[in-house]
Structure 1
Amino acid sequence: MKDSWKKKFAIIWIGQFISLISTSAVNFAVVIWLSLKTGSAEVLAYSAMASLLPQAIIGPIAGVFIDRWDRKKTMIFADAFVAICTLFMSISFYMGYESLILIYVILALRSVGSAFHMPAMQAAIPMLAPESELLRIAGINQTIQSASSIAGPALGALAISWFSIGNVLLLDIIGAIVAIVALLFVVIPNPQLAEKSKTSFNQVWQDIRLGFHEILRNKGLSWLFLYSIIATFCIMPVAVMFPLLTLNHFGGGKFEMSLIEIVWGVGMLIGGGILGLWKPSTSKVVLINCMHIILGATLAFSGWISASAFVTFVGLTTLGGLAASIYQASFMTVLQEQIRPDMMGRVFSMYFSFAIIPSVIGLLSTGFVADTIGVNLTFIILGLLIVLVGILSFFTPALMGLNRKKELSENVHSADNN
């Protein structure tokens, strides 16, 4: 076990790294294309909604099947489906059919593939590695994602400058093929199910209820979900408006937009590297709360500083990326530690759905809010709300006791075995 899991993750990480770089490049190229073509906050918001809403709607159902199906095959077919959708969009652009509606539809279909791939990947991790290494693995995953966030925007900006948007989309297809090939060389065990469930509406609904009950039975986990959903509700509109803040407030262009994406990735790389190389003794819940406060503060200050303080904006964005990386790794590790293996697909899918649906509501008002109160004030208000979430988390006993309950349960289990 000590040797095999490292080899498996090395193969998976190589495939994921190539895939994430290509996806990051394509995503940023599309953002640049939309920003320069329309200059509209609403268009950026609608594209984000198209990428999120289908995943949120089918997420709980997808989670049921992720727990039933072979998780390796699920990831492979999901990657293949996303690649086919991207290829169709590339062909359409190549033929001269550049339509916003087409972009929204393809982004929505790609979201369906993500609804299966991301939860399956997170659910597979505890089946591959010992629990004591989960936080370190999450840190390395964040490092890989961060490296792709650094290289991706630079590659995307370069690609969109040299090639048409249709040709740039081909990068994502190449990345998906590499990720699929890497998975073919890895054996991923699946959890032992109590019995073979029937694929009927009643049974699927029952499985969804079981996954929901898995969350509700743990009060600390329920509070963690709630606070994370509130924070995500605030983060998503701000994330969509980052290019507009760079363009409109700081007077930037393609270079400045790319730089902001890159330094966010640098911050995430540092955060992931910290967790990958060093196991913090601090409670993961405390880390999550502190990162909420730091991230919210960086967003609020980004909206508050003057237009001449672009260098400060770069520094704040770097710090925000670091906080987001440590938060995400800690949050995923808590879920992987707290949830039974045969329930992880459902729980991760439900989390993504519960977090996305309120975010879509926030995105619906992005254009109106940005035009009414301004992008800067939006950053300040939503950033302060995220800070408030982090502060309230420290005063929630059930949440603060989440790790202590886990440690107590392990000690009792160890004593019983002895």
Structure 2
Amino acid sequence: MTEPSQDAVPSARALLKERDYLVFWGSRWTGSFASQIQSVAMGWHMYALARETRSVEESAFLVGMIGLAAFLPVFLLTLPAGEAADRYDRKKVLLLCLTGEIASVLILAIATLNGQASVTLLLVIAALFGASRAFFAPANTALGPMLVPRKLLPRAIAWNSLAWQSASIAGPAAGGILVGFSPQAAYFTTFSLYLLAGLFIVAIRKNAKPDVQPGSRWALMKEGLAYVWRQKIVFGAISLDLFAVLLGGATALLPVFARDILHVGPQGFGILRAAPAIGATAVALWLAANPIRAKAGSFMFAGVAVFGAATIVFGLSRSLWLSVAALAVLGGADMLSVFIRQTLVQLVTPDAMRGRVAAVSSVFIGASNELGEFESGVVARFLGPAGAAVFGGVGALMVTALWARLFPDLRKADRLE
């Protein structure tokens, strides 16, 4: 038997020949950049408005409420969103979602410009944004694998993560600078970037309509849920991410740390927001060139454990640069676990079910991120911001140990093939 050729493991340069994937990547980066600026602006804006009349703890709670407002639509719309991504042209779904995001951020920009922004308006816009993202995430996740050969999928997933993480470096830094001038400057910039992301989607030439499976919409939704439950590696991977990040979501409290603990203002806030993405991008670049070939499950659990430990260090720090270092380590560790989870899920899922499985995964991610912001705000109300961060880090470590015991097959997962 002959040894497999080097072509069996295609190089990252092979992606450069996939024209539609490059356009898709451009849309992914631009849209991610816009959402990061919007997130920074809304978090800072909410905290600034709340602090006019409320205490630090009450204002931190309201910042967390943005996460809850964004998560609830994701939770309620998950099943129909996944079914839509497996039934309709995925490009058209993405364009409709971007239209909703453009409209919501434009409303917020005009209201802020006219001095009509309020806590209530920010919460409403967060909910509208969450409804749009509920449909955007599964369609976006399911479209990517349609644009590359299967043998390139692990590298494409790494580069997809790189798009998100590099935008997560530039976005918070740009957002911090923009809100330093005015929140409306950040909102109008976000509006322009969403428009550009939509133009990239329009430029994709390949067919983006999936092969629709027979059965009613409700039957297809149940089929997606059943698939995730049966595939214990898939269920274990996405639920690990859910509970670890749900408890360890210290980044939701960064406006509080920047203003009232580290005293570094909006520019320092931008640096803090960029720090996790700096670490994540470094790991994503390494993974894009050197995909994990063995002991994938062990690497994933190690990444979540380091994430929890770095969160504790961040909560205890009173130095800007120690906080930045802890956040960078936190981001790199999270990138490692996310990359392995996404690769496992997408490799074992057939294309006809990718939208539904991605929708289930997205609600878990939404719960870990947006609902994690709410959890951090609630805990901060009772333990203070630093206590909430330490509490979350300890919780993430406990979840890691428990999941390693509950999902032994996930822990023993070896090759990402």
TM-score, normalisation: structure 1: 0.87
Which residue in the other structure is 2:6 paired with?
none
SS in structure 2 opposite 1:223? helix
Residue 190 of structure 1, CA deviation: 3.5
Identity over the aligned pairs, expressed in percent? Answer: 20
CA, structure 1 residues 359+266, in 2 after alignment: closer, same or farther (shift >3 Å)? closer
How far did residue 245 of structure 1 move?
Answer: 2.6
Contact 1:62/1:116, CA 8 A, preserved across alignment: yes
Distance of 1:314 and 1:361 partners within structure 2: 24
Q: Which runs of 5+ in 1 are unaligned?
A: 198-202, 408-418
Aligned equivalent of 2:354, options 344, 349, 370? 344
SS in 2 for 1:279: coil
The number of residues matched between the two structures is: 396
Q: 1:258 to 1:365 in 2, by over 3 A?
A: closer
Distance in 2 separating the partners of 1:283 and 1:48: 34
| Partner Cα separation in structure 1 for residue 302 and residue 377 of structure 2 | 30
The corresponding residue for 1:178 is 196
Report what 1:45 is aligned to. 64
Structure 2 spans left out of the alignment, 5+ residues: 1-9, 52-58
Which segment drifts farther, 348-357 or 105-114?
Answer: 348-357
Partner of 1:294: 306
CA shift, 1:148, in A, is 1.6
Secondary structure (helix, strand or coil) at the match of 1:169 reads: helix
- The structure 2 residue matched to 1:244, chosen from 256, 259, 264, is 256
- Structure 1 distance, partners of 2:129, 2:99, is 10
Letter in 2 for 1:398: D
Do structure 1's residue 30 and structure 2's residue 42 form an aligned pair?
yes
Q: Which residue, 209, 215, 220 being the options, matches 2:228? A: 215
Q: Quote how far apart the aligned CAs of 1:3 are.
A: 6.9
Residue 158 of structure 1 is matched in structure 2 by 177
**Which residue number in structure 1 is paired with residue 129 of structure 2?**
110
Question: Match of 1:144?
Answer: 163
Q: Does 1:312 align with 2:318?
A: no
**Correspondent of 1:391 among 378, 397, 401:** 401
1:20–1:175 CA contact under 8 A, matched in 2: no
* Farther-moved stretch of structure 1 (284-293 vs 266-275): 284-293
| Matched-pair contact (CA < 8 Å) for 2:73–2:131 | yes
Cα distance between partner residues in 1 of 2:347 and 2:241? 17
Match of 1:325 among 323, 335, 354: 335
When residues 78 and 400 of structure 1 are mapped into structure 2, their CA distance, relative to the original with a 3 A threshold, is same
- C-alpha change, 1:161 and 1:375, in structure 2 (3 Å) is closer
Deviation digits for residues 173-218 of structure 1 (CA, Å, limit 9, x no counterpart):
21111111111221244432343x5xxxxx3222211011111222
Matched, 1:86 2:99: no
Q: Name the Cα RMSD after superposition.
A: 2.4
Distance 1:249 1:43, change over 3 A: same
Q: What CA deviation, in whole Å up to 9, does each residue of 1:31-68 have, x standing for no partner?
A: 22222332411110111111221111111111111110
Residue 17 (1) aligns with residue 35 (2): no
Residue 219 of structure 2 is matched in structure 1 by 206
Which stretches of structure 1, 4 residues or longer, exceed 4 Å deviation after superposition?
1-5, 357-365, 401-404
